[in-house]
Structure 1
């Protein structure tokens, strides 16, 4: 979701003349657009627990990118400070394991929701036509609808699984930071173009319960960047 610098410059030039945005106490801002989660994955080796626990050397978990509709709502409690709530439709990520088979194993997929609350600072004058901002807050990520692939089920069957394996991924609470920019347009200056990026401290543990065999688990640091490009409306 990285827009070319040239395109961003054209947008800035186009919207700057004669426009103003009043970021003042009591204002409310709704932003929406395409949000893409791009995890920066660091994984421990898989651990196999039967009668004891042993690491499976050379293995790691990978998590794919995904995009969906992102939504943010802001309440300005002063001319330069606001509180933002971030929401989205569920993200769905493909999961892979390296080092367990000759080829990367399609492990399955999971969905997640990332509700986040941030304190924001708007440094420009409240009538500025181009308004950058930064924010810091907390993220709560919940994973659900974990599904294993047929290939993973077949592998566990060869290991002696007596029933279908089940995967679970722990929820996470961590720090979130953001940077964004609004660029006004429209006769009443209520509409805006918006570009935003968030970084989220996201650590979790994934575990697969394999009946008749034991469990397979890994600690995973996702620490994703989340990019959103879209529109906003100021009330």
Structure 2
């Protein structure tokens, strides 16, 4: 009897947890670093702007509260030293945000979000011998627009800011030239995304 009661309670909790709505979003993004790093006097290092495919999944706990997980294909970054391409790396930027949607009487629904992000790098080339993973806070602002004839789908635009400064280890020759073997590369990217959304 107790086992049956526990099973019924668990099923009830599962049904309650799934009572909200899911949304999938398919977008294209521009990742624009907003910072650069002065490694040594006269040595400026920066990552270039890149573009990528950024799908995401979102769960609505209520009409105006949700959680979104940003997924992405790898971004390929060139790293410039004094404007000259000197290194290359790939990275993934998984990001999760808790969001608040400002419901109103129009077809535009603005939203804001805050959460955390990661910088997962691999396949380093050039003067960068190694780039470590990094974690930081993330903020998000945007809107979803649902056309008059659309039941479940819409279009959206948003901008995300991520605070990321991964540690870069230089190759021996470059380290000797600049007088240090490691430094934090300030990227702090702003990610602009436009795409389609579908709620089910």
CA distance in 1, matches of 2:103, 2:150: 20
Residue 99 of structure 2 contacts residue 112 of structure 2 at CA under 8 Å; is this kept in 1?
A: yes
Residue 61 of structure 1 contacts residue 218 of structure 1 at CA under 8 Å; is this kept in 2?
A: no
Which residue pairs with 1:146 in the alignment? 124
Unaligned residue ranges in structure 2 (runs of 5+): 1-18
Deviations, residues 89-140 of structure 1 (Å, cap 9, x unaligned): 0001111112xxxxx4321211110111110001214x75221111000001
Q: Select the residue among 84, 90, 112 that pairs with 2:68.
A: 84
RMSD of aligned C-alpha atoms? Answer: 2.0
Superposed counterparts of 1:139-178, under 5 Å: 139-148=117-126, 167-178=129-140
Which residue pairs with 2:157 in the alignment? 195
1:185 aligns with 2:150: no
Residue 201 of structure 1 contacts residue 223 of structure 1 at CA under 8 Å; is this kept in 2?
A: yes
Which residue pairs with 1:67 in the alignment? 51
CA distance in 2, matches of 1:179, 1:73: 16
Residue 119 of structure 2 contacts residue 166 of structure 2 at CA under 8 Å; is this kept in 1?
A: no
Which residue pairs with 2:110 in the alignment? 132
Q: The residue matched to 1:176 in structure 2 has which SS?
A: strand
CA distance in 1, matches of 2:196, 2:155: 5
1:116 aligns with 2:77: no
Q: The residue matched to 2:42 in structure 1 has which SS?
A: coil
Residue 36 of structure 2 contacts residue 47 of structure 2 at CA under 8 Å; is this kept in 1?
A: no
Q: Select the residue among 224, 231, 235 that pairs with 2:189.
A: 224
CA distance in 2, matches of 1:105, 1:73: 37
CA distance in 2, matches of 1:229, 1:188: 18
- Tell which has more relative contact order, 1 or 2 (C-alpha 8 A, sep 6+): 1
Which residue pairs with 2:33 in the alignment? 39
**Following TM superposition, by how much is the alpha carbon of 1:185 offset from its aligned partner in structure 2, in angstroms?**
2.7
Q: The residue matched to 2:20 in structure 1 has which SS?
A: coil
Task: Name which of structure 1's ranges 183-192 and 129-138 shifts more when overlaid on structure 2.
Answer: 183-192
The count of corresponding residues between Structure 1 and Structure 2 is: 178
CA distance in 2, matches of 1:232, 1:123: 17
**Following TM superposition, by how much is the alpha carbon of 1:57 offset from its aligned partner in structure 2, in angstroms?**
2.1
